[in-house]
Amino acid sequence: MNKLLAIALLIILSSDYSAIIGQNTRPRVIVTTDGEADDRASMVRFLLTCNEFDVEGIINSSSQFHWVGGKGWNAFHPVDWVKEYIELYAKVYNNLQQHSPNYPTPEYLLSKWKVGNIEGVGEDDIRTEGAELIANVLLDKSDDRPVWLQAWGGCNTISRALKIIEEDYPERMEEAAAKMRLFLIWEQDGTYQDYIRPNWEKYNIPTIIADQFDCMAYIWPKVLPKEINSYFEAEWMQDNVLNNHGSLCAIYENNSGAFNAEGDTPSFLHSIPTGLRNIENPGYGGWGGRYINVRNNVWMDPAPTSDYTHPDGQISIHNSWSKMMENWSKEDEIAIRTDYFKPIWRWLPAVQNDFAARADWCVKNYASANHHPEVRLKKTPLNIEAKAGSKIKLDASNSIDPDGDKLNYSWWQHVEASNYSGEKMEDFHSAKAKITIPSDAKSGETIHMICEVSDSGKPSLTRYQRVIITVTD
Ligand SMILES: [Ca+2]
Ligand SMILES: [Ca+2]
């Protein structure tokens, strides 16, 4: 049989060709976690979401908050919790498979679980299995796709991995750095400043250092807008996640039934291919928040005041905007704080419904559960060049829903991501939008239009497509 025919047959015989293609396009991720209660809650959501990623590693690490030998609140949760969670995932794995063939086997996930550097705050001296795994992924010549390294705790295991590369293969540092993407939930130890920056920042590694994640941590009841809170309160959490959703959801750590905290979750929400294209540029904004470029290829939170300079040193609990604003109570202060967290909370109803659907997938068959719509554009490129004053058509009417649900469309301008600063474009509540590029838009300015598609299933699920219009002469 000739080779082309063989490939064609393989495609036809494959029950889910898009799933095969998807395996090559899903983001690769490595989690490093300090095992705090909120990491453990994040891990439940992460495991339910891991059909969206290629999971390359789940690594125990320490932080300024938790390390082996830490006392009281600083105590370190025994590392085996990760194994225990994967074993609970194993109990619902067969059911999850009905909903997405991309869920990795529990055996595969267990093979990717390693203990990293945990013996102290910022300990990056010991060659741990966790650090070796990260180094091996970055040095693997057979796969040059990017890897998002997530620091749910300190950066110390990542730091040790990079030291291994520098010590053993100094000539390959640039090659390893080319694959690296960093998403840090604060800098929860000194290793990013002490070792990673001085030795690796020169390679221009895309790096997000987040503070806005905090609205999904313990302070959520103080800082989220009231209309968002209902998705985190006990009634919603019990009905949609905690009760009758299988053994993995049952272990989800909560606060008397309500959401407790998942401060580290934005680091992997960022890697879900929702259609928001935030993976291309942290300034676009997506489920993991929106960030601005502060130096080289390092991205941090847009500050609430324009006269603020992001610190050159460590960003953590001691100099966090979130912590400074947490107890603000005056109306104008609350407005500023609410705006600061908006890059995350604006998506949270969709994020929570996504969680609820995945919780259903643990216990329901395909016909009884909901699945995401897929936004498909028609004669609408993802990037459009258009002159000021011209009219363009945006069309998402090819969109589909695997359950045959009715779809609700809206096209709206993501103002914060657009650098055109004139009046906001009007919203369209239809699959098609006909927009006029403002006559005062200047060449080179951008207008980001989001097509948001929500289905009529329960819980209602949302996917997007971002279209970026660049104004030309
Ligand atoms: Ca953590
Ligand atoms: Ca659906």
CA of 187 to the centre of ligand 1 (A): 11
Average pLDDT over residues 41-57: 98
pLDDT at 15 over 80: no
CA of 314 to the centre of ligand 1 (A): 17
CA of 60 to the centre of ligand 1 (A): 10
- For residue range 329-367, what is the model confidence (pLDDT) as tens digits? 999 999 999 999 999 999 999 999 999 999 999 999 999
Ligand 2 is an ion; its neighbours by CB within 5 Å are 370-371, 401, 403, 405, 455, 457
Identical fold, 3-300 and 371-472: no
CA of 262 to the centre of ligand 1 (A): 8
Which ligand is nearest to the Cα of residue 367, counting in written order? 2
Which ligand is nearest to the Cα of residue 188, counting in written order? 1
> Taking the domains of the chain in order of start, what are their residue ranges?
3-300, 371-472
CA of 38 to the centre of ligand 1 (A): 7
CATH topology assigned to domain 3-300: Inosine-uridine Nucleoside N-ribohydrolase; Chain A (3.90.245)
CA of 70 to the centre of ligand 1 (A): 15
Confidence at 469, pLDDT banded by 50, 70, 90: very high
CA of 42 to the centre of ligand 1 (A): 9
- For residue range 283-302, what is the model confidence (pLDDT) as tens digits? 999 999 999 999 999 999 99
Find, among 465, 468, 288, the residue nearest to 374 by Cα: 465
- For residue range 368-387, what is the model confidence (pLDDT) as tens digits? 999 999 999 999 999 999 99
CA of 193 to the centre of ligand 2 (A): 45
Which ligand is nearest to the Cα of residue 261, counting in written order? 1
CA of 395 to the centre of ligand 2 (A): 20
CA of 377 to the centre of ligand 2 (A): 18
Confidence at 25, pLDDT banded by 50, 70, 90: confident
Which ligand is nearest to the Cα of residue 360, counting in written order? 2
Ligand 1 is an ion; its neighbours by CB within 5 Å are 34, 36, 39, 152-153, 264
Average pLDDT over residues 312-325: 96
CA of 187 to the centre of ligand 2 (A): 38
Q: Is 81 exposed, middle or buried (0-12, 13-18, 19+ CB in 10 A)?
A: middle
Which ligand is nearest to the Cα of residue 454, counting in written order? 2
Which ligand is nearest to the Cα of residue 214, counting in written order? 1
CA of 402 to the centre of ligand 2 (A): 6
Confidence at 20, pLDDT banded by 50, 70, 90: very low
SS (H, E, C) the chain: CCHHHHHHHHHHHCCCHHHHHHHHHCCEEEEEECCCHHHHHHHHHHHHHCCCCEEEEEEECCCCCCCCCCCHHHCCCCCCHHHHHHHHHHHHHHHHHHHCCCCCCHHHHHHCEEECCCCCCCCCCCCCHHHHHHHHHHHCCCCCCCEEEEECCCCHHHHHHHHHHHHHCHHHHHHHHHHEEEEEECCCCCHHHHHHHHHHHHHCCCEEEECHHHHHCCCHHHHCCHHHHCCCCHHHHHHHHHCCCHHHHHCCCEECCEECCCCCCHHHHCCCCCCCCHHHCCCCCECCECCEEEECCEEECCCCCCCCCCCCCCCCHHHCHHHHHCCCCCHHHHHHHHHHHHHHHCCHHHHHHHHHHHHHHCCCCHHHCCCCCECCCCCCCCEEEEECCCEEEEECCCCECCCCCCEEEEEEECCCCCCCCCCCCCCECCCEEEEECCCCCCCCCEEEEEEEEEECCCCCCEEEEEEEEEEEC
Q: Share the mean pLDDT of the chain.
A: 95
Which ligand is nearest to the Cα of residue 34, counting in written order? 1
- For residue range 139-192, what is the model confidence (pLDDT) as tens digits? 999 999 999 999 999 999 999 999 999 999 999 999 999 999 999 999 999 999
- Contact indicator for 212, 340 with CB cutoff of 8 Å: yes
Which ligand is nearest to the Cα of residue 373, counting in written order? 2
Share of the chain above pLDDT 70, in %: 95
In CATH, what is the architecture of 371-472? Sandwich (2.60)
CA of 361 to the centre of ligand 2 (A): 13
Which ligand is nearest to the Cα of residue 404, counting in written order? 2
Q: What are phi and psi of 437, to 5 degrees?
A: -65, 125
- For residue range 440-460, what is the model confidence (pLDDT) as tens digits? 999 999 999 999 999 999 999
- Contact indicator for 429, 409 with CB cutoff of 8 Å: yes
Q: What is the pLDDT of residue 7?
A: 45
- For residue range 75-85, what is the model confidence (pLDDT) as tens digits? 999 999 999 99
